[in-house]
Amino acid sequence: MQLTYRGANYEYDIPTVDMIEGQVAGKYRGQDWNYRYPRHIPVPQKYGGANSNTKQEVQALRDVAAASAIAAVQSSPTVAEVAQVQRRHICSILDRRQQVAKAKGDERLMRLLEIEWKQMAC
């Protein structure tokens, strides 16, 4: 297909998608019509039948998911631990900023950083 954009001509080939026919979905104006799926997508199975899970299997899957969620919550750090790590990180950044200010000889920045250091009480 020949297209033009702001005076520039270019050729555009519409990509084709390999489709497969599914089961008959209904009728439209007296004709059967089928679901169509791209070939790389598996055709979904009907609800129920040989491929469906039993209630016990579904409950077992839910139990496993709930147990893993509980384990994840129990192993997560507490608020106090997170606050302590954050405080150490801020103090290390502040220390590095002081070292850079000393190396540059910036007295004004050194005074500001000392005030910040006292506020943080690192």
What is d(CA 93, CA 119) in angstroms, rounded to the nearest whole number? 14
Which sequence spans correspond to the domains of the chain? 2-75, 79-120
Per DSSP, helices labelled H in 31-122 are 55-75, 79-104, 107-120
- For 4, the enclosing helix (H) or strand (E) is strand 2-5
Q: What percentage of the chain exceeds 90 in pLDDT?
A: 18
Q: What are the φ/ψ torsions at residue 82 (nearest 5 degrees)?
A: -65, -45
pLDDT at residue 108 above 90?
yes
Q: What confidence tier does 104 reach under pLDDT thresholds 50, 70, 90?
A: very high
Return mean pLDDT, the chain. Answer: 79
Convert the pLDDT of each residue in 22-79 to its tens digit: 777 777 888 877 777 676 666 555 555 555 556 677 777 778 777 777 776 667 778 8
pLDDT tens for 45-56 read 555 555 555 667
